[in-house]
Structure 1
Amino acid sequence: MQYVAPIGIGVLYALLMSLVHEPHRRRLNAVMVAGAGAAYLSGGGLGGWEFAFTALLAYVAFRGLESWTFIGVGWLLHTVWDVVHHLKGNPIIPFAHTSSLGCAICDPVIALWCLRGGPSLIALVRGRGRRRGPGRGPERSRATMTP
């Protein structure tokens, strides 16, 4: 369960973010990834590297204000930082020893969604996210078409 729940949390994050309309969704996600960059500042155990990482993610998040790709890269960078903390530092939640591992599993799910452009999952489920093409949608025969 400790490996499955973080995937569900990542999907839930994308679903909840789907309630926010563009361009606000992209900008809100940029702010979220900036906040994730500062998550370990209060005791991550890696000294000055915590500040360097926060500065890096602040820059990536700033670029993410106009680019889903940068937001996705930011979540992937945070994934690496979670793994480092799981192996060498302190967990993101002090009383949950595997919390950084859970975060490292959750973050790539969010990153993949962002790298796809942060589409509305709700619209995809409803079918509005699909493009019409051959074999999709109602077909009309020539006999029913009027000139």
Structure 2
Amino acid sequence: MSLVLPILIGLAYAVLMSLIPEPHRRRFNAVMVAGAGAAYLSGGGLGGWEFPFTALVAYCAYRGLESWTFIGIAWLLHTGWDILHHLKGSPIIPFAHDSSFGCAICDPVIALWCFRGGPSLIGLVRTRLTRPHTP
């Protein structure tokens, strides 16, 4: 279950974001990943390295205002940071020991969705359901 739940959370994130129309969806996701990039600042598990990492993700998020690719890159950077925090033992949620591990599973799911251009998953399902079936 420790692998399945983070994947489902990543998919739920993409579905919920699908409710936001473009171009607002892309911009909102840029803001979301900027916030994720700063999530470890209060814990400081990697010391002063937390600041340049936050700046790097903020740069990618800024570029993500106009590019889904940069948002995906930022989520993958966050994945790497999650792994480092998991190995060091300073989880993103202090009282949930494996929270950084879960985040490292969830974030690439979101990144893949971003690399596909952040499509509306709800729209894709509707298209599939309304398209005539051919034998």
Identity of paired residues, percent?
78
What value does the CA root-mean-square deviation take over the aligned residues? 1.9
Q: Deviations over 1:69-126 (max 9, x none)?
A: 0000000000000000000141000011000000000000000000000000000111
Q: Tell me the secondary structure at the aligned position of residue 34 of structure 2.
A: helix
Q: In the comparison of the two structures, how many residue pairs are matched?
A: 134
Shift of residue 10, structure 1, vs aligned partner: 0.2
- After TM superposition, the score normalised by the length of structure 1 is 0.86
After superposition, where does 1:1-147 map in structure 2 within 5 Å? 1-127=1-127, 137=132
Checking the alignment, whether the CA contact within 8 Å between 1:33 and 1:57 is kept in structure 2 is: yes
4+ residue runs over 6 A deviation: none
Q: Distance in 1 between matches of 2:43 and 2:75?
A: 20
Checking the alignment, whether the CA contact within 8 Å between 1:46 and 1:89 is kept in structure 2 is: no
Q: Which has the higher contact order (CA 8 A, sep 6+)?
A: 2
Structure 1 residues 138 and 82: alpha-carbon distance in aligned structure 2, compared to 1, 3 A threshold: closer
Kindly indicate which of the two structures has a greater share of residues assigned to helix.
2
Q: Distance in 1 between matches of 2:94 and 2:61?
A: 26
Q: Unaligned 5+ residue runs, structure 2? A: none
Q: Distance in 2 between matches of 1:77 and 1:61?
A: 11
Checking the alignment, whether the CA contact within 8 Å between 1:44 and 1:85 is kept in structure 2 is: no
Structure 1 residues 138 and 92: alpha-carbon distance in aligned structure 2, compared to 1, 3 A threshold: closer
Q: Distance in 1 between matches of 2:52 and 2:84?
A: 14
If you compute each CA radius of gyration, which structure gives the higher value, 1 or 2? 1
Q: Distance in 2 between matches of 1:127 and 1:95?
A: 42
Checking the alignment, whether the CA contact within 8 Å between 2:89 and 2:97 is kept in structure 1 is: no
Checking the alignment, whether the CA contact within 8 Å between 1:71 and 1:114 is kept in structure 2 is: yes
Q: Distance in 2 between matches of 1:45 and 1:112?
A: 27
Q: Unaligned 5+ residue runs, structure 1? A: 131-135, 140-147
- After TM superposition, the score normalised by the length of structure 2 is 0.94
Partner of 1:142: none
